[in-house]
Amino acid sequence: MSKKLKLGLSPGSLVYVGRAVDDAPSQLRVIKYCEKTYDKKIVQNLDIDTTNPAIVIWLDVDGIHDHLTVEKAGEAFKIHPLALEDIMNTNQAAKIEFYDDPQVFVQIKMLHLKGRQRCSVDTELVSFVLGNNYLVSFQEKRETDIFLPIVDRLQASVGKTRKNNADYLLFALMDLIIDNYLEVVEAMGERIDQLENSIFDKSHKDPIPELYALKREFTLIRKHVWPVREVLQVILRGEADSLNDSTLPYFRDLLDHVDQVLDNITSYRELLTSLVDIHYSMISNRMNSVMKTLTIYSAVFMPLTFIAGIYGMNFDNMPELHQRNGYFIAWGVMITIVVGLLFFFRRRGWL
Amino acid sequence: MSKKLKLGLSPGSLVYVGRAVDDAPSQLRVIKYCEKTYDKKIVQNLDIDTTNPAIVIWLDVDGIHDHLTVEKAGEAFKIHPLALEDIMNTNQAAKIEFYDDPQVFVQIKMLHLKGRQRCSVDTELVSFVLGNNYLVSFQEKRETDIFLPIVDRLQASVGKTRKNNADYLLFALMDLIIDNYLEVVEAMGERIDQLENSIFDKSHKDPIPELYALKREFTLIRKHVWPVREVLQVILRGEADSLNDSTLPYFRDLLDHVDQVLDNITSYRELLTSLVDIHYSMISNRMNSVMKTLTIYSAVFMPLTFIAGIYGMNFDNMPELHQRNGYFIAWGVMITIVVGLLFFFRRRGWL
Amino acid sequence: MSKKLKLGLSPGSLVYVGRAVDDAPSQLRVIKYCEKTYDKKIVQNLDIDTTNPAIVIWLDVDGIHDHLTVEKAGEAFKIHPLALEDIMNTNQAAKIEFYDDPQVFVQIKMLHLKGRQRCSVDTELVSFVLGNNYLVSFQEKRETDIFLPIVDRLQASVGKTRKNNADYLLFALMDLIIDNYLEVVEAMGERIDQLENSIFDKSHKDPIPELYALKREFTLIRKHVWPVREVLQVILRGEADSLNDSTLPYFRDLLDHVDQVLDNITSYRELLTSLVDIHYSMISNRMNSVMKTLTIYSAVFMPLTFIAGIYGMNFDNMPELHQRNGYFIAWGVMITIVVGLLFFFRRRGWL
Amino acid sequence: MSKKLKLGLSPGSLVYVGRAVDDAPSQLRVIKYCEKTYDKKIVQNLDIDTTNPAIVIWLDVDGIHDHLTVEKAGEAFKIHPLALEDIMNTNQAAKIEFYDDPQVFVQIKMLHLKGRQRCSVDTELVSFVLGNNYLVSFQEKRETDIFLPIVDRLQASVGKTRKNNADYLLFALMDLIIDNYLEVVEAMGERIDQLENSIFDKSHKDPIPELYALKREFTLIRKHVWPVREVLQVILRGEADSLNDSTLPYFRDLLDHVDQVLDNITSYRELLTSLVDIHYSMISNRMNSVMKTLTIYSAVFMPLTFIAGIYGMNFDNMPELHQRNGYFIAWGVMITIVVGLLFFFRRRGWL
Amino acid sequence: MSKKLKLGLSPGSLVYVGRAVDDAPSQLRVIKYCEKTYDKKIVQNLDIDTTNPAIVIWLDVDGIHDHLTVEKAGEAFKIHPLALEDIMNTNQAAKIEFYDDPQVFVQIKMLHLKGRQRCSVDTELVSFVLGNNYLVSFQEKRETDIFLPIVDRLQASVGKTRKNNADYLLFALMDLIIDNYLEVVEAMGERIDQLENSIFDKSHKDPIPELYALKREFTLIRKHVWPVREVLQVILRGEADSLNDSTLPYFRDLLDHVDQVLDNITSYRELLTSLVDIHYSMISNRMNSVMKTLTIYSAVFMPLTFIAGIYGMNFDNMPELHQRNGYFIAWGVMITIVVGLLFFFRRRGWL
């Protein structure tokens, strides 16, 4: 289950590397459609005929922890062993490979918000194998099937997907995932806004740990999103037969969205850095004000206490003590000192 | 209205993404001109003949929140669906696309200063579709029509625009927008000058939050201006038929201006960083001076108060108390200590 | 033994540059195998026949401190003198050279964890010379022979190595080393987690020196791993005859792993920087709280002590002293002052 | 006079953008020379014959604020309107354009030291139009004519200029300007040395504002010098007919000088950053020493004053007060405490 | 002697720019060798025959301050005037030029350690002109002739130099200089280790100025070494006839060494930055501990002194004063307060 388990093994063996799955079985869903027809089946065994170019076949493998299911899909569609290995390794970054033309192998990360304040991020590895008229998708077994909206849309024949080939289906699924990136980033952006307000409200909680936690989270997201850019750029070179030229503008659109996500991440990271600095600026201003208070107190009371101490001395011969108004004169002197000091501090701008 | 509304939809549907608009209707303004003739009309329906290459047609769509109007323009000039989608999405960064030759699709952001101190920035998405002898421009519905100066100049037949083709009109409109960038940046630069003065004047307000707000604003502007560079570089490659070679030097000039804007932004950002550092330097100098004051006070009065305390003790047998000049000798000792300490502190450079 | 020893010498002479070795003799191990046959020998002299292309020959030289052994291997396989020089210089960074086609010369560093907390790193230079059907490997003499798992797997005929040529053997050995990188980085990552916990637990030990030590260690690892990327990129260009096209996808996989290691290093370095900042944030918060305590104490007790001082003065004429309730009134005044000050500090948020 | 004045105008109109000029008239100076002949004239009207390829013609326009003079030069040498516009805009960065072959249009900034301490920089825009056998130069009207040394050298026929074509003249003029860069940078470097000394001398003036002012000045210079690199690189591509191959090594030499200037700027900027850090280090050390003094004073005198306070109490029953040596024992206790504390502080390294 | 002297002159004139030389005369040393013969002469005039391709001629010019000697060498080997100019300008960075094929002109800096602690660096400009069978080297007049080891080796016919052509001699000389880089960097690295120890030993000297001085020194070295990389990369392109293909692997080896030097510099610079941070961390920890001491002292003695002050008041009616055990009860209260406070501070982790 962990990377370490793999170290002793021969390279190329199929081992699941990812979070624990509670024995939920993998599922194979086959959807066949063209503009007119639509057919959805949950199957146990794969016996698929891809020879009719007019029919698009979409096999969705839900659950990649079971190497038998993955191997089954791999055999049915002749997927390269290294691709199968990568499909089962959830540590993989987004990537694209052309193992055997016309097959295109794409991996990309789905992001899920998690945690109490929904500002940390969980990832799910999604893999695609695109052929001329088929698409095989692999997702981790989770509570939610992330492709459901597309399945529903296909069934209802809404949108352009039914009218287009498997490459448009790939675009539609990737569009789903990439649109979600923006949503995730914006949700975290809202948490930053809350933190910003709490900093300017001078609340007592130290915001630094959370600011850094958010920064790390953005670093992580950037790490997952950045290679998607490269994947799309490789797609846009248009070298694969299974990707039609008429679909490329749609992928260019995805590239625009990814760039926007990356831009927003950069902006939020800069904002977080600024918030850290502003927090320190406020801390240091408050410290300054504390020190000034202390200094003014000391500066005022030290001379007064000294004068009181003087006339508390027990020398036999202290002429002032025996003057009739000595005590009142002493008070006068002390009040003069206080007024003078306050005036002095106001002039230096400390009050 | 927000990005989220779009997430569930099929890609490619026309949805306005931007700030709320108060039901102001979109407007279609058609201007037809050549060197000799000029004709301006506000129309409801578009029935435009672009076959006369000598006549330049400029359709300005004022208000992109109404998808019907945008679709109308899209149909009349055969604009690609993805272009129409981008036109209505005000989150778009500046970009250029060649969907169907000879059409060139350009998007660019207009900057408006807003806020009480006019040092934060609002953006307006402006889109252009350039054909051989026509230009379609799209702007958001605002109080001011940003293209008015060009309309007036066309009518008055001042400048070279009337003598040139649609690509020169595109240049003239982009020149308007890019010249405005410099104006916006300089306006914010003046605010920085004010802040700089207030920092050196040791005013009491903490300037840090505003310094960071300005920095963020410049980051934002840079984010909007930076892709304009790329747009111009693509134009300067001169691959589009609808862009004449004789117009290219003018676009190269625009590139110079954009570089100047980016340079100034970089300089102002560095200046802001320096001001933050200078502010902290001054804070820390003041803190130092506060601490020195406190230390000198304590160092002077603590020994004095101690001496006064000594002779306030009530021991039966304290010979000094009964000396005739004891009190005056005590004063002498205390004055000696003060003078000694002040001399010592002056030598250490604290006074 | 040190670099300095080499400075006076003519370039190209064979001198061992590395850590001291306790007179352990070098060892030559020759393994010859094809899919069906397997033969392992420890030899003293090399008399090797590489003319049968079906038999893969692997010579492993364990111990590079003995220039005679290295020269022996060099002569037997006609290795370029500069390659031999680099093999004996453990300061070499990872590199690849094509001295004489079809020979490929590859150097790469093995990482070993050392130290009490296993979070500092030791390196071992590993060199490979790949021919059409042979591989010569050079490793430093250490307690553990790092290639043992592959030797065992070859003998047991597990995995694909026996079915493939010498280039696949090179891949298998490099895979071993590169998988180990990830293990080393993760082991250090766990130490960072421990440190993070101890920082948030406000333990008294200054964590800064160890945080910086870890950062240096990551810098070091990055320095060793980074050139491996280049080595693999050169291999992937596929220019060498001794590297078959069918093996290249496996090296591309290695490149993925190296990128993952570099990514993780970057993340951990950023995390370390954040921890340093968080530590300072906590220090500064504690300092702030110390200063507030001091200030509140001073602010409360200075006025009280002053009042006590006043009525300890010995003036003849002090009316308050002779009032019946003077003492209790004084207490009342003092308590009022304390309550007032505490109320004031609570309102300023210092309590 | 300011950029704003230009905003309303049609692009391409000739407007002077720069600092105010006190009505000094522009001057046209024509120098015609070959190896044998030399002729210098101040003219009002230009009627120049450039058909004799053996005669080099140098027109120097001194004063670019007068658009009539600039237009006159533009007409005489058929200079492109956009070039003329740039010539009159002193905000232009250094650049090179090939508007109409064989004309080469080069702009570059002259640096002048100004200010009381000669460590801030003023710029003067210099423009060149190089033809096959003529050079037109444009400079701002200033007290000093920066080209005088070359005029003198031409007249005296010293150096290689008279023997070469107009492109060598361009090199000689640019050499003058670029050599001056180094002089300016070194002059500012000397000011940094002074500041460095004053920092180590612990003088009382806060050096931070001047350090940052110098840093900004270097940023500015870098901004002016950096594009000169690009200008020279374009020249070195050798595409323009009017630049002879034999002159190129001289321009490569200029590129070396520019690189040296940029290197020095980088070094000085790093030095300034270090000086800021050293200054803060010293401030923080001094603060530390202030705090230690305060703490030691308090730690010593607080217990003493407390003891004096104890025996100043007026309880009826205080046995110590009535002992014969009570007073002297009290002194003994106090001296013991002082000695003990001083010993303790010395051991902790605070004294 | 300084750059300024050159400013007025026509470009291309031969002027020495460098440190003062005490009238030591330049020296011309001619060595002619092939595998069998060897001949060394100190000459005054150069009359050299380079037509025998089997004889390698090495002219070493020791002392570049004398323009007559440099010109003499220039004439004898037909060196380009700009090369001669660069040879005499010790401010030149490392560079390579191909003025006239087959001549290759290379400049590189020799580093010398200087200063009391041998951790600042002095540079010496070394220039080479490589022809088909000759090499001209130029070095500054110093106490030590840096090429002596090669001269000795040539004479003794040790190593490969005698068996190879002039390009191998160039390699041998550059190898000498580049190996020295590593030695210089390591020597400074040892000084850093000393500083690191003194920082952890909490010695009283402020290490910041020396840390920054070292950082500057590394910046300087990097500035000198970096362009050597480019020189070697140009050599490795193998375009010059006078550089044989069989020598190129040796230069590739030099490139490896230069990369290692640059890597080490980067590591040391990062280490210096870390040491600065660790120093501040320690300062701030000590400051914290000083402040805690002060606060605890104040917190303990202020209440005690206040209580003593209370019972030092002279009110007529203070019942406590006349109780039999009043004094001892007062002591009890004070001791209780001290114990309570110490307990409280221990719980807050301040003790």
DSSP H or E run through E121: strand E120-130
In DSSP notation, D8-31 reads TSPTT----BSS---SPPPEEEEE
Q: What is the pLDDT of residues A221-279, one digit of tens each?
A: 998 999 999 999 999 988 888 888 888 888 988 998 999 899 899 889 988 988 888 88
Residue D7 pLDDT > 80, yes or no? no
User: Is C175 within 8 Å of chain A by CB?
Assistant: yes
More confident residue, B322 or B99: B322
pLDDT of residue C286: 82
In contact, A275 and A195? CB cutoff 8 Å: yes
pLDDT of residue C114: 85
Q: Which residue type is seen at C80?
A: H
Q: How far, in Å, CA of A114 to CA of D128, rounded?
A: 63
Residue E91 pLDDT > 90, yes or no? no
Residue B273 pLDDT > 50, yes or no? yes
Residue E139 pLDDT > 80, yes or no? yes
Q: How far, in Å, CA of D38 to CA of B233, rounded?
A: 45
User: Is D301 within 8 Å of chain B by CB?
Assistant: yes
Residues in B 90-119 with any Cβ partner in A closer than 8 A? 91-93, 95, 97, 99
Residue C258 pLDDT > 60, yes or no? yes
Mean pLDDT of C206-224: 88
pLDDT of residue D2: 39
Q: How many CA atoms lie within 13 A of C210 on its CB side?
A: 17
More confident residue, A136 or D18: A136
pLDDT above 90 as % of chain B: 42
DSSP H or E run through D181: helix D166-200
Q: How many CA atoms lie within 13 A of A151 on its CB side?
A: 14
Strands (DSSP E) along C49-165, which ranges?
56-62, 95-97, 104-114, 120-130, 134-139
Mean pLDDT of D205-218: 87
More confident residue, A47 or B334: B334
The three-class DSSP label of residue E20 is: coil
Torsion sign, CA atoms D322, D323, D328, D329: negative
Q: What is the pLDDT of residues A276-290, one digit of tens each?
A: 888 888 888 888 888
Q: What is the pLDDT of residues B18-30, one digit of tens each?
A: 877 777 788 899 9
Q: How far, in Å, CA of D24 to CA of D122, rounded?
A: 19
Average pLDDT, chain D: 87
Interface contact C315-A311, CB threshold 8 A: yes
Q: How far, in Å, CA of E346 to CA of E340, rounded?
A: 10
Residue B61 pLDDT > 70, yes or no? yes
Q: How far, in Å, CA of E182 to CA of E185, rounded?
A: 5
Residue E5 pLDDT > 50, yes or no? no
Mean pLDDT of E147-172: 88
Give the model's confidence band at E20: pLDDT under 50 very low, under 70 low, under 90 confident, else very high: confident
Residue C7 pLDDT > 80, yes or no? no
User: Is E3 within 8 Å of chain D by CB?
Assistant: yes
Mean pLDDT of D290-312: 91
Task: Match 């021969």 to its residue by tokens.
Answer: A10
Among A6-10, B169-173, D104-108, D246-250, the least confident range: A6-10
Distances (CA, A) of E173 to C8, E39, E63, E161, E168: 12, 18, 17, 10, 9
Q: What is the pLDDT of residues A63-122, one digit of tens each?
A: 998 888 999 999 999 998 889 989 999 988 899 988 776 799 999 999 998 877 777 899
Mean pLDDT of C243-263: 89
Among A125-139, B31-45, B118-132, C91-105, the least confident range: C91-105
Q: How far, in Å, CA of B302 to CA of B338, rounded?
A: 11
Residue B281 pLDDT > 50, yes or no? yes
Q: Count CB pairs under 8 A between chains C and E.
A: 138
The chain E residue lying nearest C91, using CA atoms, is: E260
Residue E7 pLDDT > 70, yes or no? no
Instruction: Please state, as a whole number, how many other Cβ atoms lie within 10 Å of the Cβ of residue C192.
Output: 19
- Option in A252, A267, A316 nearest B321 (CB): A316
Residue E135 pLDDT > 90, yes or no? yes
Give the model's confidence band at D1: pLDDT under 50 very low, under 70 low, under 90 confident, else very high: very low
Residues in E 192-231 with any Cβ partner in D closer than 8 A? 202, 204, 206, 208-209, 212, 215-216, 219-220, 223
Give the model's confidence band at A5: pLDDT under 50 very low, under 70 low, under 90 confident, else very high: very low
Mean pLDDT of E294-316: 91
pLDDT of residue A1: 34
pLDDT of residue E9: 57
Residues in D 57-96 with any Cβ partner in B closer than 8 A? 80, 82, 85-86, 91-93, 95
- Option in A6, A302, A326 nearest C315 (CB): A326
Residue A217 pLDDT > 60, yes or no? yes
In contact, C97 and C25? CB cutoff 8 Å: no
Length, in residues, of chain B: 351
Mean pLDDT of C92-99: 88
Interface contact B312-D313, CB threshold 8 A: no
Instruction: Please state, as a whole number, how many other Cβ atoms lie within 10 Å of the Cβ of residue A98.
Output: 15
pLDDT of residue E4: 42
State the maximum Cα–Cα separation within chain B, in Å, rounded to a whole number.
Answer: 123
User: Is C301 within 8 Å of chain E by CB?
Assistant: yes
Q: What is the ipTM of this complex?
A: 0.71
Residue A3 pLDDT > 60, yes or no? no
Nearest to D300 by CA among D329, D335, D274: D335
Q: Name the token pair of B316.
A: 């039966």
Residue C5 pLDDT > 70, yes or no? no
Mean pLDDT of C335-343: 94
The three-class DSSP label of residue E192 is: helix
User: Is D321 within 8 Å of chain B by CB?
Assistant: yes
Among C78-82, D114-118, D333-337, the least confident range: D114-118
Residue B36 pLDDT > 50, yes or no? yes
User: Is E302 within 8 Å of chain C by CB?
Assistant: yes
Residue D115 pLDDT > 80, yes or no? no
Residue A197 pLDDT > 90, yes or no? no
Average pLDDT, chain E: 87
Interface contact B253-D82, CB threshold 8 A: yes
Among A5-19, C206-220, E75-89, the least confident range: A5-19
User: Is E274 within 8 Å of chain C by CB?
Assistant: yes
Residue C118 pLDDT > 90, yes or no? no
Q: How far, in Å, CA of D15 to CA of E342, rounded?
A: 79
Residues in C closer than 8 angstroms to E298, CB to CB, are 294, 297-298
Q: What is the pLDDT of residues D20-53, one digit of tens each?
A: 777 778 889 999 999 889 999 999 888 888 888 8
Q: How far, in Å, CA of D88 to CA of C97, rounded?
A: 57
Residue D56 pLDDT > 90, yes or no? yes
Q: What is the pLDDT of residues B159-218, one digit of tens each?
A: 788 888 999 999 999 999 999 999 999 999 988 988 888 888 766 678 888 888 898 899
Instruction: Please state, as a whole number, how many other Cβ atoms lie within 10 Å of the Cβ of residue E175.
Output: 20
Among B100-114, C13-27, D312-326, E327-341, the least confident range: C13-27
CA distance D106 to chain B (A): 14
User: Is C180 within 8 Å of chain A by CB?
Assistant: yes
Q: Name the token pair of C350.
A: 């210092």
pLDDT of residue D12: 58
Give the model's confidence band at E12: pLDDT under 50 very low, under 70 low, under 90 confident, else very high: low
Give the model's confidence band at A7: pLDDT under 50 very low, under 70 low, under 90 confident, else very high: very low
Q: How far, in Å, CA of C219 to CA of E266, rounded?
A: 10
